[in-house]
């Protein structure tokens, strides 16, 4: 019997009525002759509410305890969902991440999945049960509960789909699929029918919030086809899969953006081998994810280095830089008012002039570019946060994304 893994996001299980709706969907899939594993997020905003309580009690709550706390949100959802399925006359069993065999490393709050022990899952499926797994969590080698980082239920679902050899992983959410830009900013943004893993990776990395980045990496690595769709309709959503001939190889498939970048500039850094390694080594050791980096031309043996981090990583970055700045004899500046706009498309690899068109469009819109970074299928510009929406609209129009390619 084919195995299908489904994932339902927080809004899809926002209240008990929504949970009953999800139960009906799962039962329909099961009754159609599939073995179903459903991964569920915490109800509505409950993860935020749990975090808020923790921060009302402690300024810097221990991460191990945060994981104990946050993991409960998903357990509430799966237990209620199991009851809803029983009400429909089918058998379901809810499992915590630990019970579902999801093993992780020991990095609390952003643990990585290291393996999935599928024995229990297969046993329960073989006995005819619908299996419900609490998303976003696992167990570390020292038997502590870990969580996978915000949005981590996507990664739970993809990891289970890969480990079980599922024929597909359906990600049910509160939007119809992946859009050519944020519909909240661009009124004629369009749902994309299919994108390649590579494009989706770039989109998730540059601000598309519909899927957690790591889940896309995982899906690509194990070739798990993903279908992102709404849990409130029966319409097809967006397929994410291997690039093939049938896929529209648009020069630009989407415009993405972020509003939470901080720029740090190190001034008068000695221009000698090993300095960049020291700086970025210290940031890596502090678990800070560095994004765009620019090193200026050096003058009189010193140079300025600027880089961006997500705002949430700023305190960690500051701490790490303070620890090494004295020794290197450098000062640093912080600009906390940055955003980023990106264009992504598999077709840009073989199409000249895309960067020029992007920069020209931003210039006409009066947007100043502070930093640029590229990959073979993406161009990103770091700009002032207040100009992000204007930039997204201008690029969406310039690259004709409102009309199907």
Binding site for Mg ion (CB under 5 A): 10, 41
Residues 85-144 interacting with ligand ASP (rule: CB under 6 A) = 135-136
Of residues 3, 37, 42, 283, which one binds ligand ASP by CB under 6 A? 42
Total number of residues that touch ligand ASP (CB under 6 A): 11
Write the burial class of residue 218 (CB in 10 Å: 0-12 exposed, 13-18 middle, 19+ buried).
buried
* Cβ(320)–Cβ(286) below 8 Å: yes
Q: CA 321, CA 326: separation in Å to the nearest integer?
A: 9
Of residues 44, 101, 138, 152, which one binds ligand ASP by CB under 6 A? 152
Closest approach of ligand ASP to the CB of residue 216, in Å:
14
Stretch that binds ligand ASP, among 93-101, 146-154, 230-238, 371-379 (CB under 6 A): 146-154
Closest approach of ligand ASP to the CB of residue 39, in Å:
9
Kindly state whether residue 153 participates in binding ligand ASP, applying the rule CB under 6 A: yes
Residue of this chain nearest to ligand ASP (CB atom): 153
Q: CA 46, CA 404: separation in Å to the nearest integer?
A: 38
Closest approach of Mg ion to the CB of residue 158, in Å:
15
Where do the H-state alpha helices sit in 206-309? 213-222, 275-285
Q: Note the maximum CA span of the chain.
A: 78
* Cβ(371)–Cβ(308) below 8 Å: yes
Closest approach of ligand ASP to the CB of residue 179, in Å:
20
Tokens at residue 139, please?
A: 């167990």
Kindly state whether residue 150 participates in binding ligand ASP, applying the rule CB under 6 A: yes
Stretch that binds ligand ASP, among 148-156, 203-211, 273-281, 331-339 (CB under 6 A): 148-156
Stretch that binds ligand ASP, among 19-27, 149-157, 169-177, 225-233 (CB under 6 A): 149-157
Closest approach of ligand ASP to the CB of residue 110, in Å:
11
Stretch that binds ligand ASP, among 40-48, 159-167, 173-181, 197-205 (CB under 6 A): 40-48
Where do the H-state alpha helices sit in 6-62? 16-31, 46-57
For 125, phi then psi, to 5°, come to: -65, -45
Give me the sheet containing 238-241, strands edge to edge: 92-95, 130-134, 35-40, 3-8, 168-173, 226-230, 238-241, 194-196
């Amino acid at each position: 019997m084919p195995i299908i893994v489904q994932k339902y996001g927080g809004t899809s299980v926002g209240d008990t009525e929504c949970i009953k709706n999800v139960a009906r969907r799962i039962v329909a899939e099961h009754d159609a002759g599939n073995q179903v594993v459903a991964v569920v997020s915490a109800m509505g905003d409950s993860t935020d509410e749990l975090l808020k309580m923790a921060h009302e009690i402690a300024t810097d709550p221990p991460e191990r305890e945060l994981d104990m706390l946050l993991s409960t949100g998903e357990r509430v959802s799966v237990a209620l969902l199991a009851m809803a399925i029983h009400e429909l006359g089918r058998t379901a069993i809810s499992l915590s991440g630990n019970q579902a065999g999801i093993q992780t490393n020991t990095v609390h709050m952003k643990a990585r999945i290291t393996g999935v022990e599928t024995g229990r899952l297969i046993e329960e499926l073989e006995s005819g049960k619908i299996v419900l797994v609490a998303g976003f969590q696992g167990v570390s080698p020292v038997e502590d509960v870990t969580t996978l980082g915000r949005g981590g239920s996507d990664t739970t679902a993809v990891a289970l789909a890969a480990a079980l050899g599922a024929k597909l992983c359906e990600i049910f959410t509160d939007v119809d699929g992946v859009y050519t830009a944020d519909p909240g900013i661009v009124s004629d943004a369009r749902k994309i029918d299919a994108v390649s893993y590579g494009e989706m990776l770039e989109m998730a990395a540059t601000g598309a919030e519909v899927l957690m980045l790591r889940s896309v990496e995982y899906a690509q690595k194990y070739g798990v086809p993903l279908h992102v769709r709404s849990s409130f309709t029966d319409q097809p959503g967006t397929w994410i899969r291997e690039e093939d001939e049938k896929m529209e190889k648009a020069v630009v498939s989407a415009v993405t953006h972020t509003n939470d970048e901080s720029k740090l500039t190190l001034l008068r850094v000695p221009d000698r081998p090993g300095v960049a390694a020291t700086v970025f080594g210290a940031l890596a050791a502090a678990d800070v994810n560095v994004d765009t980096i620019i090193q200026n031309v050096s003058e009189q043996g010193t140079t300025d280095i600027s880089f961006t981090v997500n705002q949430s990583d700023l305190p960690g970055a500051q701490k790490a830089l303070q620890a090494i700045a004295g020794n290197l004899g450098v000062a640093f500046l912080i600009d906390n008012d940055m955003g980023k706009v990106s264009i992504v498309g598999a077709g840009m690899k073989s199409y000249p002039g895309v960067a020029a068109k992007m920069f020209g469009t931003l210039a006409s819109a009066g947007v100043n570019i502070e930093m640029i970074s590229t990959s073979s299928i993406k161009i990103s510009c770091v700009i002032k946060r207040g100009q992000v929406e204007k930039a997204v609209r201008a690029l969406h129009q310039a690259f004709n994304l409102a009309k199907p390619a």
